[in-house]
Amino acid sequence: MYKIFHLNKAFLLSDSPCEKIKNIKISNINDLCLALREWQEEDEPVDLCFYGTDPEVMLGYLKEFYTYVEAAGGVVKNQEGYTLFIKRFGIWDLPKGKIEKGETPREAAIREVKEETGIENLTIVKPMTNSWHIYSWKEKTVLKKTYWYLMESDFKGTLIPQTKEDITEARWLKPGDAVEALQNSYRSLRETLQM
């Protein structure tokens, strides 16, 4: 099963009907794409479950229909147990970015965290759950898969937000503040990276 977010709502790709949300049976790519287009245009944050076709097949449909990109990022902890957050467009987020040609997701995650925050001495502890979301960008709809990694660092220097990427703040947040920041962040982060 896949859970793919769009703004403050989500849809699931499942091999069987889901409980407690609206279910739509899918038999081909046209059914899926038409239903998704209508759903994206609705203002109400209603979750959907698409079933009837193998979830891998439906995901393949979406990769062909939308512009598909992969990104990677990190949930970075310091020696005091604080978590590294960035603020972009006034919303707390975690550092991440697109994977460049020839990079592995792990390499991209480390590079992006360094670029967006100025941090050094990063070590990947383990992979975390991947997140999926769709969004509009330059008259296209993008399907993005983000690989997440738990990281640690003993960095004691000054964090430097990457302002050319519209990041206005990079800050270590103590556990309680990190949970609060996540609650006021994107639904995809809250549900995928529960802290």
Q: Residue 136 belongs to what H/E stretch?
A: strand 131-137
CA distance 189 to 195: 10
Q: What is the pLDDT along the chain (195 residues), one digit of tens a residue?
A: 999 999 889 999 999 999 999 999 998 888 888 899 889 888 888 999 999 999 999 999 999 889 999 999 999 999 999 999 999 999 999 999 999 999 999 999 999 999 999 999 999 999 999 999 999 888 888 999 999 999 999 999 999 999 999 999 999 999 999 999 988 899 998 888 765
Residue in the structure block whose two tokens are 């603020």:
87
Cβ distance 40 to 14 under 8 Å? no
Class of domain 69-192: alpha beta
For the chain, residues classed under CATH 3.90.79.10 are 69-192
CA distance 58 to 51: 9
Cβ distance 49 to 23 under 8 Å? yes
Count CB atoms within 10 A of the CB of residue 183.
11
Instruction: Name the DSSP letter for residue 21.
Output: S
pLDDT at 136: 86
